[in-house]
Structure 1
Amino acid sequence: MITYKDLANYIFQDVNETIEDLEKRFPQRTLPLNAEVTRFAPSPTGFLHLGSLFTSLVACKVAHDTNGVFYIRLEDTDTKREIEGSGEQLITQLEHFGVIPDEGYLGNSEKGIYGPYVQSKRAHIYRVCIKYLMEQGRAYPCFCSHEQIEEIRAVQEAMKVVPGYYGEYAMCRNISPEEALNRIKAGEKYVIRFRSLGNHNDKVTFHDLIRGDISIAQNDLDVVIMKSDGLPTYHFAHAVDDHFMRTTTVLRGEEWIASVPIHLELFKALNFPLPNYAHLPVIMKLDNGNRRKLSKRKDPEASVAHFIEEGFPKESLKAYLMSIANSNFEEWTTINHSFDIDEFKFSFDKMSLDGVLF
């Protein structure tokens, strides 16, 4: 009888390491008590958005206020959307505004012992972890075509049920390891999905450093964790990278709150401790009296390059971003006669819960 362990050994014949081996290769960091390890993880798919500068500025500030580490990781697994040279350009623009990583991806090079810091170079690490999940029966090959996925969605829309690949709609979820192995040997294309144990009718609660406790529907989607090209999806890479790079606090935009249940379940399945989460407010603007997100297409100020090309003083933009990050920054500058954000003590308690106006 073919088991999931047999299936994993066949698919991942090149993988000899275990998660325990990775734990030894990427040991816990030796840092002062309460030091934070934060990161900025852009994708090389275009220009540096003002919101990304905002996020990276806060992440850098949090790490350095606690004598911790701020690093940059390039998330380049979406090869179809990648724009050549944009990764290097992102680093140049961040450096212009004084957002300098202590380690990580530096454009044409990398610095640090927790790399590679470019996701496309970390395939072996992901394969070790996916092999482990498959051995536990928490990951499985999916042979569904794009057309079949669309058919599932059409049925769900007609029945007015929650859309997605889950439960009875997960066509490959209950395929036996033996059948899966035979189909792989026959040359069928496949992705690998995570087998969720959640129920979207139940809630999961997590603590956000800005928003407090958040209760949200559990994940029950069998999300893809490895694409047909062998690269991971964002959700899976996030869990693996933030664990082995020893990230303590994940700072990102509030639009990622809906994805947290997926990440919580992945961390638990991999037996990884959870990082702290801080979901930053989205930068908004007024348009005919209405608030809306800055648009890459409509708003030139959405691009950081706009401020560089127009000659805006970089310290002024940094100070303004810090003033919308912490409500007491403006008062602090008045009292201290300084706009040097390095001297200012950042606090999550002073962040807005709603979209901030730029």
Structure 2
Amino acid sequence: MNQTELAHRLFPAIERLPEDVLSSYPARKLKEGAMVTRFGPSPTGFLTIGGIYATLISERLAHQSGGVFYLRIEDTDTKREVEGSIGDFLQALSYCGIDPDEGPTASGVETGEYGPYKQTERASLYHVFIKDLIARGLAYPCFCDADELQQIRDKQQAAKLNPGYYGEWAIHRHLTPEQVESELATGKPFVIRLKSPGSPDRRIKYTDLIKGEIEMPENDQDIVILKSDGIPTYHFAHAVDDCLMGTTHVIRGDDWLASIPVHLQLFDILGFRRPEYGHLAPLMKMDGTSKRKFSKRKDPDAAARYYQQEGYPGTSVKEYLMTLINSNYEEWRMSQPEAPYSEFRVDMNKMNVSGALFDSNKLIDISKVVIARLSADEVFEHTAAWAAAYDSELEATLLADRKYATAVFQIGRAVEKPRKDIAKWSNVKDLYGYFFDDWFNKSAAAGCDALPAAMPSELAKQIVREFALTLDFQDDRDSWFGKVKAIGEQLGFAKDAKTFKKNPEQYPGHIGDVAMILRVALTGRTMTLDLYDMMQVMGEARVRNRLKQFIG
């Protein structure tokens, strides 16, 4: 039995040759310089914010160059697969507005001509290339069980040698086809290993898209390329898929950097053109006074879905991540506040090599700017959509009177510099709950508690009584404020804060305190939106009812 016969013995159902497969995946017809990138998650858990960060870079590089960005599910680790992970990936991408050109979709239908886009559905393709490697003497079956592999590791450890399956320790590397046949006859399970041509004495050099020139030891391990269940390892599957799908550039976390010698070796042995790799340092967060990596176990905000649950618009998350990708994005955004983010060209030479710091406060500031640019109708739609998933009480309140809720959101919005108070949709109830009677009535008793300690409650009620007597909803802003000032003067308040500060003992307060009393009476709070605008939206009946409640 020769190597070709052994290959057929191991894969009798595989009749196609590598050239047959390659011809069925023709080269993409793209302009020169166009990049083909991919997001290749493993469905073993939730998508992290770091994953969104890397994916956004891949999407931008592809689309700004006129190329293709696709989604591939790398599900070769079937034992660790978590149900619902793929749906989580698709939902997170949709939330952030990152749209793959090809791959699985939420409807269950794949798009694109280079599928299937799930690796477990591509097993027969991998078998073609593995069969060819065996026929060429570049791969072989290994029958070692877990105990035998552990014995090898123990001996290597005792001898203070590098652990692994290589050289003299690769005990099945030089089996003859007849010896392999003898092992097969026993029915023992086996894996297929690459017969590595590497040597620990040699080093490889490659240019990382982000980290620059890197030199590493060559791979000399006979890695597993096909598991005993017939599913390839990720290392092998990704090499075949990146060739067939035309991947030109791979952006991934630098935890994959140690795999570079294996991956480049696989591309070379298979005769494929290598893609270019860029390795990103992980996003960091502050923990007290020091920085550390996000923890999938400890940090709720490590999950991409956390930001959606909190109510951050996906656009806000994307805008913030763009500032981490290239620091000059902020300056560009300031000069072009209305331009779509896609007009900015990501530059790999300006990416953070050491690990960008994820600043939640900065995300909040950016999100406030993003939401401030929305119309009142858009704020209503987004808030109601978020509430439908996460706050049924808020949803019911908004939908009960859309016109009123939209008018609330309109306050301070149709101006040159709109207010920036909403950072996320979960803020809305706390910021504007007092506009809605059910929520206001629950906290109405707290109205007097909101008054400064130096303000006697009877004086506060007297201010409200006088205001109720003079209130006329036909008054314009100036007339209305003139009446407020008159009430203050009548009750001995200083005409302004400056006058009060000169002789504080002569006055119970200043005119701003009078307005503050009215604010507390109407909202139970000392800080709200513009008082006049707020009253106009609330309407006369609601305002008068609340004034009566306060006087009580």
Native 8 Å contact 1:142 1:172 kept in 2:
yes
Give the drift of 1:145.
Answer: 0.6
Greater CA drift, 31-40 or 101-110: 101-110
Match of 1:288 in 2: 288
Match of 2:127 in 1: 127
What CA distance in whole angstroms lies between the structure 2 residues aligned with 1:236 and 1:80? 18
Residue pairs, 1:219-298, within 5 angstroms: 219-298=219-298
Gaps of 5+ in 2: 359-552
Give the drift of 1:185.
Answer: 2.8
Deviation digits for residues 298-321 of structure 1, max 9, x if unmatched? Answer: 111100111000101221211111
What CA distance in whole angstroms lies between the structure 2 residues aligned with 1:79 and 1:339? 43
By percentage of residues, which structure has more helix?
2
Native 8 Å contact 1:63 1:70 kept in 2:
yes
What CA distance in whole angstroms lies between the structure 2 residues aligned with 1:245 and 1:89? 24
Secondary structure, in 3 states, of the residue corresponding to 1:243?
A: helix
Deviation digits for residues 263-310 of structure 1, max 9, x if unmatched? Answer: 111111111011111112211112233332110111111001110001
What CA distance in whole angstroms lies between the structure 1 residues aligned with 2:286 and 2:216? 30
Give the drift of 1:259.
Answer: 0.2
Native 8 Å contact 1:46 1:86 kept in 2:
yes
Match of 1:58 in 2: 57
What CA distance in whole angstroms lies between the structure 1 residues aligned with 2:218 and 2:356? 28
> Which AA in structure 2 matches 1:342?
S
Match of 1:337 in 2: 337
Match of 2:67 in 1: 68
Deviation digits for residues 191-236 of structure 1, max 9, x if unmatched? Answer: 0000101112321011111122211010001000000000000100
Match of 1:5 in 2: 4
What CA distance in whole angstroms lies between the structure 2 residues aligned with 1:244 and 1:312? 38
Match of 1:162 in 2: 162
Give the drift of 1:163.
Answer: 1.1
Secondary structure, in 3 states, of the residue corresponding to 1:106?
A: coil
| Structure 2 length-normalised TM | 0.64
> Which AA in structure 2 matches 1:169?
W
What CA distance in whole angstroms lies between the structure 1 residues aligned with 2:327 and 2:160? 43
Deviation digits for residues 110-141 of structure 1, max 9, x if unmatched? Answer: 11111100000000000001011111111000
What CA distance in whole angstroms lies between the structure 2 residues aligned with 1:109 and 1:283? 33
Q: Report whether the alignment pairs 1:16 with 2:15.
A: yes
Match of 1:193 in 2: 193
Native 8 Å contact 1:319 1:339 kept in 2:
no
Q: Report whether the alignment pairs 1:212 with 2:179.
A: no
Give the drift of 1:146.
Answer: 0.6
Runs of 4 or more above 6 Å deviation: none
What CA distance in whole angstroms lies between the structure 2 residues aligned with 1:177 and 1:341? 59
Deviation digits for residues 79-116 of structure 1, max 9, x if unmatched? Answer: 11111221122101111111111011224121111110
The root-mean-square deviation of aligned C-alpha atoms, in Å, is: 1.1
Match of 1:177 in 2: 177
Greater CA drift, 217-226 or 177-186: 177-186
Secondary structure, in 3 states, of the residue corresponding to 1:105?
A: coil
Secondary structure, in 3 states, of the residue corresponding to 1:52?
A: helix
> Which AA in structure 2 matches 1:218?
E
Larger Rg: 2
By percentage of residues, which structure has more strand?
1
Deviation digits for residues 26-45 of structure 1, max 9, x if unmatched? Answer: 00000111110000000111
Q: When the two structures are aligned, how many residues end up with a matched partner?
A: 357
> Which AA in structure 2 matches 1:158?
A
Higher relative contact order (CA 8 A, sep 6+): 1
Give the drift of 1:338.
Answer: 4.2
What CA distance in whole angstroms lies between the structure 1 residues aligned with 2:298 and 2:87? 25
Secondary structure, in 3 states, of the residue corresponding to 1:260?
A: helix
Native 8 Å contact 1:283 1:293 kept in 2:
yes
Match of 2:114 in 1: 114
> Which AA in structure 2 matches 1:345?
R
Native 8 Å contact 1:142 1:191 kept in 2:
yes
Gaps of 5+ in 1: none
